[in-house]
Structure 1
């Protein structure tokens, strides 16, 4: 046929394609919609037909065409109710690119409702108000962004929530906490504590997620005092609860084994359902007739809620530092490992010893094992941090805690191996003073070190002492075997995890997070001169800016407008910094740069950003940039090429035409 058939035929065709849920047929349907819009035939489509097609596309992992249809509906002023388009967003949010698009769509539509600019008293505004993003729509977008790691655009959603009047429920509170933790917003995270403490509808899992975020943020900022106090407070509460429960059991029931087992809670049931089945299990697509009959789209809202629950359960699996037992929050072994590592990296040996001694004195059944401090000392010896190990031993001695013979033996042998004879002499003196009897392998190592020093008299004296103690003598080969088996057995449990964390974990510059917060505050308030001064001070103090630092600067410049030269200078600095350091570009930083360059007409640099994003296989929302180009540069380079133009002018023209071709405008 030439042209399009009548309206009823077109809509029936699109509906029949959508109901098949076949990828190829859905692509055909979307192609038909795009062609009709290009030719100005958008009146051919019914609102419900386009909504149904968008739902089918989103369910079949086609978030880009689904988002384009939603945008076209809004442009046509055929506003889809939030109960319907929240389900489309939910299916989109199951993929990383779809989650990013969901956040963009909410930001675009949320802009219409900022600060009560829509009058609800006008009847003509009713369809528009029915589209306003609600708790579920924002929840699925936030959860999707958290799953894919695009948390800076998620924070932009948090910023507009109070301005469009979105009600915050328990799920949103948890998502907010997780986003603030990922972005290092320590103060905002602390402010949420009051809401969590006062909320009555939170379950154990949600509380655990919040306190996991809080502890993680303390560690991220190097606030070890707050982190250790938080863990000790949880230990004290767990001990009090355990004592109270034990007393109640003795009072009301006879003492029997298994008496303290607790009945399943709502949180336990939720955890049982978090087994990953390789992705969200789709049901069958609702028929178009049922879709149209459900005028308020209650069934679609139910689907969005199910997906939100699925995403929330997947996020629960990321909780590593806090667990709950009988409703009582407690730190996991992973939390103790991370704390020990942070104390060691900060050189706070005394504070680490004091913390672990307090932990052991609490004597909580769920606390770290009694040998935690010994494990840390053994870990330090294994890693060659002998001075730290010696300092920890001294702190144990000052606290009146007697260390085992094996620890002194390990440290002495390590000193002997490193030929640090002054430390060997000092530690040997401590051992003698404490009346500790060392094992034969340690005497063997000491004798060998004396021989190497040509101290024959000292070696004979040690041999005589070992003989008097009636210790079995081992040869050099026996010493190696004994030392190897000892190390192997000691690296079980806590020590093995600590060694792994120290070896594999990155050393974090805590100061970067503090300065990022300062710069973010100034950029948010559009105080860019202060932000520039803060960035300069940050560098002068030896802190290297990261992707989050530059993202704040770029979005700050974009907010006040016209600062394209400053952004171009940042881009040049970013490229040189990435070449010289390990700093990596991420999607959100490059996307913010691309938006600024396209809006300002800096197409040479825009093409550089596009090339970098495509090289890194990052998602780019071409529809958004096509719209942006048409808004600000519709008539740019439309005429014939001038006969006379400079090399710079020719380069700019070629770059603009290349970008125009990339977004699909010709």
Structure 2
């Protein structure tokens, strides 16, 4: 009887335990663990998880970031990452912080979340964080998030993306990343003109002219229309790369299409073209351009109706099948920035008219004098500024000791019917006497008497004043030109050869291109420019001839060692990408090593993506001991070193 009662009691307790357990276990399966836990342990875990989650939500709601981080660490240690809603809220709160430490933690947390569970964070939250990181100049983390969003098949709205990029391109590293990202975006969609302008302008600002040229060609490929801002920035890239023909063609198309209100903006384009004419030592072409500028009305459009557009060849206008970009010179966005930080050096703008600066005048005077063609200089001076400008130049020449040049300009001006004032004659005369050039002085005195400027030469001589040059800036600029002329500079022949090389490469005329490239290499006075190497590399890359690019890399190294050639980040990055495509990993690591040595930025994410696209399974399961030859063993080590460098496990 007693035993039977005990059995009933045990059975009753067992049923109570089972009922109580079922009532305590929630119906949502997400709270279950995959491992079997005792009932008491499961109950404790559920309550602890709920409590921590509630504490985290409370701290986030009150924006107590320190408390939220402490609770999050406990939660993560016990249960892993929270659910999507909590994670999005947490990252959003961290993104709004102005503290770089919290932003860095947000970036690390996002990287972890994306690695473990890609859809855990929404694109909106990732966008907010990317913008905050860009604003804090944490460019790499910001761009990595942009790339993640792109990999999901999403592209940010144009205004939001432009805002992020605007902050990215404030630094050199950010510009490298933004330009690479822009190339990726073009594989998915067509970005707007404003985005291209932002990145192009930063390439100009940080000296990435080679990358800038690639972006201009990309604009043509994806059919992005170039506006007034684009045109000016493109002119800066052309000037930096010595592409005079392209800039001349652009100027020709603009004549008669420039709205009066945009003339001030376009002076930068004319400034860049004038700079190239001087680099090519083409004084005659520079003079013709100066005459055009001084007739600003011929450049201006008579009517401002609509946005007239035209197609401009990109690369070379001689190639009929080449790329063309659509240009709308009258379209200038209201909030648009030209992206040109510096003042124009050669072209001025005053009273709604274009003019020339003293620097331009000095280059023309020194150039014509050096070429022994002062009569043409005199004609130009008379056409541009009349007797007043001639007097200023004569005065500056006297102060420089160029007395005979001053006298020649004086004679030419008089012959053209522009009689100079007595004061100008007296300055030249004083210069002659001061330099003991008495015969020249006598000739000038006779001229002055014949012109009726003096009646008693000996008395005039006695009262000659010693006056300073009225245009002190012009005199200073002439002194600069003399000094610059004494220094070694890129010869105009090299610019001409680069232009030919560019044409041959774009036309895929490999034989002529190689001949021209070798001719450039043989120039003993000056090494090939970066543009020389870039052009030939670009041709070989388009033809898939990566082995030939290794030879060019050898040429670059020799010129760096013997001729002090300074290479830029954009050229070296182009080499890395091409060597990756060709599978030359020893060369890849060699260039990367040089970039690290010089403190240049390496875009690891771009390198990694390029590698995975082409060589994902290369030597993945191979061990060093499996190598048959020494060459294979070395290649294995280089691939291994690269994978380790970019973080491929």
Q: Same fold (TM over 0.5)?
A: yes
Aligned to 1:143: 201
Change (3 A) 1:106 1:489: same
Q: CA deviation at 1:546?
A: 0.5
Change (3 A) 1:27 1:470: closer
What do you get for the CA RMSD once the two structures are aligned? 3.5
Aligned to 2:128: 52
| Whole-angstrom CA distance in 2 between matches of 1:316 and 1:31 | 35
Q: Is residue 393 of structure 1 aligned with residue 376 of structure 2?
A: no
Q: Is residue 376 of structure 1 aligned with residue 397 of structure 2?
A: yes
Aligned to 1:6: 83
| Whole-angstrom CA distance in 2 between matches of 1:618 and 1:58 | 20
Paired residues of 1:93 and 1:144 also in contact (CA < 8 A): yes
SS in 2 for 1:514: helix
| Whole-angstrom CA distance in 2 between matches of 1:77 and 1:133 | 15
Aligned to 2:536: 553
Higher RCO (Cα < 8 Å, 6 or more apart): 1
Instruction: Name which of structure 1's ranges 585-594 and 351-360 shifts more when overlaid on structure 2.
Output: 351-360
Change (3 A) 1:657 1:358: same
**Counterparts of 1:419-568 in structure 2 under 5 Å?**
427=440, 430=443, 492-504=472-484, 507-539=489-521, 544-561=527-544, 563-568=545-550
SS in 1 for 2:355: strand
Deviation by residue 1:416-473 (Cα, 9 ceiling, x = unmatched): 7xxxxxxx6875775676589xxxxxxxxxxxxxxxxxxxxxxxxxxxxx9999969x
Change (3 A) 1:349 1:582: farther
Change (3 A) 1:646 1:411: farther
| Whole-angstrom CA distance in 1 between matches of 2:413 and 2:495 | 35
Q: Is residue 635 of structure 1 aligned with residue 649 of structure 2?
A: no
Change (3 A) 1:606 1:343: farther
| Whole-angstrom CA distance in 1 between matches of 2:458 and 2:440 | 21
Paired residues of 1:378 and 1:407 also in contact (CA < 8 A): no
Q: CA deviation at 1:535?
A: 1.5
Aligned to 1:16: 93
Q: CA deviation at 1:199?
A: 4.4
Q: CA deviation at 1:17?
A: 0.8
Aligned to 2:316: none
Instruction: Name which of structure 1's ranges 13-22 and 528-537 shifts more when overlaid on structure 2.
Output: 528-537
Change (3 A) 1:51 1:524: farther
Which of the numbers 585, 595, 599 marks the counterpart of 1:617?
Answer: 599
Deviation by residue 1:191-242 (Cα, 9 ceiling, x = unmatched): 3332463244852321322222232232232232222123234446699x9x
Q: What TM-score do the two structures reach when normalised by structure 2?
A: 0.71
Aligned to 2:561: 579
SS in 2 for 1:545: coil
Deviation by residue 1:599-646 (Cα, 9 ceiling, x = unmatched): 222232222222322233222211111212222233334332126665
Q: Is residue 184 of structure 1 aligned with residue 242 of structure 2?
A: yes
Unaligned runs of 5+ in 2: 1-75, 301-332, 450-456
Q: CA deviation at 1:656?
A: 2.9
Paired residues of 2:392 and 2:470 also in contact (CA < 8 A): no
Which of the numbers 74, 81, 94 marks the counterpart of 2:150?
Answer: 74
Q: CA deviation at 1:541?
A: 6.7
Instruction: Name which of structure 1's ranges 512-521 and 395-404 shifts more when overlaid on structure 2.
Output: 395-404
Q: CA deviation at 1:42?
A: 0.6
Deviation by residue 1:80-137 (Cα, 9 ceiling, x = unmatched): 3333222211221222222232222222221345xxxxxxxxxxxxxxxxxx301111
Q: Is residue 154 of structure 1 aligned with residue 212 of structure 2?
A: yes
| Whole-angstrom CA distance in 2 between matches of 1:469 and 1:12 | 91
Change (3 A) 1:34 1:390: same
Change (3 A) 1:33 1:226: same
| Whole-angstrom CA distance in 2 between matches of 1:376 and 1:586 | 40
Change (3 A) 1:635 1:50: same
Aligned to 1:454: none
Deviation by residue 1:165-188 (Cα, 9 ceiling, x = unmatched): 323322222222332232222232
Q: CA deviation at 1:44?
A: 0.8
| Whole-angstrom CA distance in 2 between matches of 1:165 and 1:155 | 15
Q: Is residue 356 of structure 1 aligned with residue 381 of structure 2?
A: yes
| Whole-angstrom CA distance in 2 between matches of 1:622 and 1:644 | 27
Aligned to 1:665: 648
Aligned to 2:343: 318
Paired residues of 2:346 and 2:356 also in contact (CA < 8 A): yes
Greater CA radius of gyration, 1 or 2?
Answer: 2
| Whole-angstrom CA distance in 1 between matches of 2:568 and 2:505 | 19
Unaligned runs of 5+ in 1: 114-131, 242-304, 417-423, 437-465, 473-481
Q: CA deviation at 1:19?
A: 0.8
| Whole-angstrom CA distance in 1 between matches of 2:383 and 2:392 | 13
Deviation by residue 1:523-569 (Cα, 9 ceiling, x = unmatched): 233333331122223455766421111011112211221x2221111
Q: Is residue 36 of structure 1 aligned with residue 113 of structure 2?
A: yes
| Whole-angstrom CA distance in 2 between matches of 1:362 and 1:489 | 16
Paired residues of 2:193 and 2:227 also in contact (CA < 8 A): yes
| Whole-angstrom CA distance in 2 between matches of 1:199 and 1:30 | 47
SS in 2 for 1:190: helix
Paired residues of 1:170 and 1:202 also in contact (CA < 8 A): no
Paired residues of 1:603 and 1:659 also in contact (CA < 8 A): yes
Paired residues of 1:236 and 1:362 also in contact (CA < 8 A): no
Which of the numbers 262, 272, 288 marks the counterpart of 1:229?
Answer: 288
Change (3 A) 1:588 1:50: same
**Counterparts of 1:291-302 in structure 2 under 5 Å?**
none
Paired residues of 2:624 and 2:637 also in contact (CA < 8 A): no
SS in 2 for 1:370: helix
| Whole-angstrom CA distance in 2 between matches of 1:341 and 1:326 | 28
SS in 2 for 1:323: strand
Paired residues of 2:387 and 2:413 also in contact (CA < 8 A): no
